[in-house]
């Protein structure tokens, strides 16, 4: 089953102005459920732009995006937010955590915007995710007092807490040493074996090689072949 289908997707920033950028210029992409995909390409090639659209954080200028058999190309921002909360776990390159809050509070946050877990289930759910990503014992620690690898785990836990179908990660290992990066990749592989679809933007061939498939983006277009 295809969980994601993108057809002839275009994204222009500052359309019609002097500083217009045609970041995506006709992208086609199909991803099957429980597949793992790497997106590679040089800086500025459109990787984050594509990931943000896949994650319903941004909308395309034209083209179609079908997510779980539903065409979501023309949804409003609030409809997209609902879809995102239910279906997508997004791990931002800069983590996007609240540094002054604890591990527990950061991970719990998405549950405040959904009704998937209520009452006592909330605490149970947050604690089970904390164990899953290897942060047991650090629940009360403030994010600002953590290492890069620990912050990455908090960001992953927060992306997972709502039990999304798709996990999107923008350069999840770029700031990590190789041992921590391997541990983070092991978490992603584990998630995939539990039926999650994994899409990772990376500059690291070693990371891409651990996933099922790699696509390359160049001049706003995707290819299965590395032409760089």
Ligand X SMILES: Nc1ncnc2c1ncn2[C@@H]1O[C@H](COP(=O)(O)OP(=O)(O)OP(=O)(O)O)[C@@H](O)[C@H]1O
User: Contact positions toward Mg ion, by CB under 5 A?
Assistant: 48
Contact 196, 165 (CB under 8 A): yes
Helix ranges (DSSP H) in 40-147: 47-54, 77-87, 103-108, 120-132
Question: How many residues sit close enough to ligand X to count as binding (CB under 6 A)?
Answer: 12
Report the 10 Å Cβ neighbour count for 87: 20
41 binds, among Mg ion, ligand X, none (CB under 5 to 8 A by kind): ligand X
Nearer to ligand X, 13 or 113 (CB): 13
Give the integer Cα–Cα distance in Å for 158 and 156: 5
Q: List the one residue from 29, 31, 36, 48 that touches ligand X (CB under 6 A).
A: 48
Taking the complex as a whole, how short is the minimal distance between the CB of residue 82 and ligand X, in angstroms?
Answer: 23
Q: What is the DSSP letter of 59?
A: -
* Distances in whole angstroms, Cα of residue 222 to Cα of each of 4, 36, 43, 137, 205: 15, 16, 14, 43, 17
164 binds, among Mg ion, ligand X, none (CB under 5 to 8 A by kind): none
20-39 footprint of ligand X as x/- string (CB under 6 A): -x-x----------------
Nearer to Mg ion, 36 or 48 (CB): 48
> Where do contacts with ligand X occur on this chain (CB under 6 A)?
13-14, 21, 23, 41, 43-49
């Amino acid at each position: 089953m295809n969980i994601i289908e993108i057809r002839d997707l275009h994204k222009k920033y500052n359309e019609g102005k002097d500083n217009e950028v045609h970041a995506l210029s006709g992208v086609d992409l199909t991803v099957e459920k429980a597949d793992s995909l790497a997106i590679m390409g040089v800086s500025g090639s459109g990787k984050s732009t594509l990931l943000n659209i896949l994650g319903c954080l941004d909308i395309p200028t034209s083209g179609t995006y079908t997510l779980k058999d539903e065409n979501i190309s023309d949804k409003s921002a609030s409809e997209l937010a609902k879809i995102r909360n239910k279906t997508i776990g997004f791990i931002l390159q800069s983590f996007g955590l609240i540094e002054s809050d604890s591990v527990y509070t950061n991970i719990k946050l998405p549950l405040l915007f959904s009704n998937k877990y209520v009452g006592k289930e909330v605490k149970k759910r947050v604690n089970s995710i904390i164990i899953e990503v290897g942060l047991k014992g650090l629940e009360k620690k403030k994010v600002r007092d953590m290492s890069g690898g620990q912050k990455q785990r908090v960001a992953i836990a927060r992306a997972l807490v709502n039990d999304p179908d798709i996990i999107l990660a923008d350069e999840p290992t770029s700031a990590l040493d190789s041992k921590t990066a391997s541990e983070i990749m092991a978490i992603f592989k584990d998630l995939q074996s539990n039926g999650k679809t994994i899409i990772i933007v990376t500059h690291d061939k070693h990371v891409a090689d651990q996933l099922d498939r790699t696509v390359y983006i160049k001049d706003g277009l995707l290819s299965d072949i590395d032409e760089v």
